[in-house]
Amino acid sequence: MTIEEFQNKFGIIGKSKEIKDLISIIMQVAQSDISVLITGESGVGKEVFARAIHGASKRTEKELVSVNCGAIPESLLESELFGHKKGSFTGAIDDRKGYFEIANGGTLFLDEIAEMPLTTQVKLLRVLETQEFMKIGSETVTKVDVRIIAATNKDLQKEVDAKRFRHDLYFRLKAVTITIPPLRNRKADIIELANYFLTNFSKNNKTKIFRLTKDAEEILINYYWPGNIRELKNVVETAAALSQTDILDANSFLPLLSIAEQNDENRNLPVFVNKSAEQVDREIIYRALIEIKKDLMELKSLALQNQNDFSKNDSQNNLTEVVPIHNLEKEAIINALNFTKNNKRKAASLLGISERTLYRKINEYGIK
């Protein structure tokens, strides 16, 4: 099976080298029973890769059981994983199988493994080493044959150093570690994913087929995507749902992207990125341009409101503290022209105005 065939079979979208390399590793380890640890930011699609590993394994005929360790209260997690006997605690009115027993012969996917309490980690380690466990309230051992795939959006080594995660369990889980890069580090996949989500949206909702304009694609490619693929899916589907036409342009997405707030807490921290200085500068200018546009719209609204208030009061007000709108507008136009390397069609599109209006403004403000 080729990498492309594997992607089609298990619904892994992407043409970037990073994705191709990950799939190559998955295809090598899927057939074994070795434990796999999948790491990556929230929303990168860790469960999709877990399902692909199970689907390509010799356990594919058996069940893949997914458990979100962070979503189950600590007091219930042990019972959910290992099961319990009737009367073993208040509320245990019947015998119950745990996820390990349900997944017997198949695969158990433990998402958000870093949220698992230390006491439960001890019992998980025992199962990994012996393939047996005891239900709560039971005096007999239950044997199982389960493959473990774990996932986390945290740095488990740091969790180990902070004594929040057992080092022996960490080393047992990380036999094979797959790290899924964030969407912003594999920009080649963004438009393919966006079109995939649009196609599914049209099919599921029986609507027209949507098409992305070039300026919309540029917006999506240059956005930071802190929520990764999950955020991209939500943004694309929302834009499609709100659109009155089958064409999605930059203005379809700008109100849906929290660019002004993105990465604020780390904005002034030094960060290593695998990009040229020109690429970094381009992204910074692009984000700044969008922020200026949003601020300009807010300032226009505020200025008009103040102007109405001044007219009502019919009084002299000190306007020296108000920045003239034309200054902000001129600055936005200059930034747009610089960013698009003087491509007036693209600049007009980014600013949300017609080319004719842009030419008029350039002449009006004497922009060279």
Output the pLDDT for position 296. 60
Measured between alpha carbons, how far is residue 297 from residues 105, 301, 304 in Å? Answer: 59, 6, 11
Q: In the listed set 181, 206, 238, which residue is the last one of a domain according to the structure?
A: 181
Q: Which SS3 state, helix, strand or coil, does residue 87 take?
A: coil
Do 143 and 191 share a domain, yes or no? Answer: no
Nearest partner of 117 among 164, 163, 152, judged by Cα: 164
Residues 286 and 237 in one domain: no
Q: How confident is the model over 279-293, as pLDDT tens digits?
A: 445 555 555 555 555
Residue 232 lies in a domain: yes
Q: What is the pLDDT of residue 345?
A: 82
The per-residue pLDDT for 87 is 65
320 belongs to a structural domain: yes
DSSP 108: E
> What does the block give as tokens for 35?
């434990």
Listed residues 239, 266, 293: the one ending a domain = 266
Q: Indicate if 133 and 190 belong to the same structural domain.
A: no
Co-location of 17 and 110 in the same domain: yes
Q: What span, in angstroms and rounded, lies between the C-alpha atoms of 78 and 137? A: 12
Domain, as residue range, for 212: 184-266
Asked whether residue 97 is domain-assigned, the answer is yes
In order, the DSSP letters of 180-241 are PPPGGG-GGGHHHHHHHHHHHHHHHHT-PPPEE-HHHHHHHHHS--TTHHHHHHHHHHHHHH
Amino acid (1-letter code) at residue 45: G
Do residues 8 and 152 share a domain? yes
Tell which of 151, 181, 211 closes a domain: 181
0.85 exceeded by the pTM? no
Show pLDDT as tens, one digit a residue, over the chain (368 residues).
Answer: 899 999 999 999 999 999 999 999 999 999 999 999 999 999 999 999 999 999 999 999 998 999 999 888 888 898 899 988 776 666 666 778 889 999 999 999 999 999 999 999 999 999 999 999 888 887 888 899 999 999 999 999 999 999 999 999 999 998 899 999 999 999 999 999 999 999 999 999 998 899 999 999 999 999 999 999 999 999 999 999 999 899 999 999 988 887 534 444 443 333 333 444 454 455 555 555 555 555 565 565 566 665 655 555 554 444 445 567 777 788 888 888 888 888 888 887 777 788 778 888 888 888 87
d(CA 235, CA 255): 10
The distance of Cα 83 from the centroid of its chain, to the nearest Å, equals: 33
pLDDT score recorded for residue 269: 36
In a domain, 160, yes or no: yes
Say if 103 falls within a structural domain: yes
154 and 189 inside one domain:
no
> 17 and 95, same structural domain?
yes
CA atoms of 342 and 347, how far apart (whole Å): 8
pLDDT at 89: 67
Contacts of 121 (CB under 8 A, 6+ apart): 165, 166, 169
Same domain, 40 and 149: yes
Query: In this structure, what CATH number is given to the domain that contains residue 232?
Result: 1.10.8.60
Task: Encode pLDDT of 61-120 as tens digits.
Answer: 998 999 999 888 888 898 899 988 776 666 666 778 889 999 999 999 999 999 999 999
50 and 138 assigned to the same domain: yes
DSSP 8-state symbol, 41: -
Query: Residue 347: inside a domain, yes or no?
Result: yes
Kindly state whether residues 104 and 144 are assigned to the same domain. Answer: yes
Q: Is position 272 within any domain?
A: no
Q: Please tell me whether residues 33 and 176 are part of one structural domain.
A: yes
Q: Provide the pLDDT for residue 39.
A: 96
207 and 150, same structural domain? no
pLDDT at 265: 41
Structurally, the chain folds into a number of domains equal to 3
Count the helices and strands in the chain (H runs, E runs). Answer: 16, 9
- Taking the C-alpha atoms of residue 37 and residue 180, their distance in angstroms, rounded to an integer, is 11
CATH of the domain at 47: 3.40.50.300
pLDDT at 200: 94
CATH number at residue 358: 1.10.10
301 domain residue, yes or no: yes
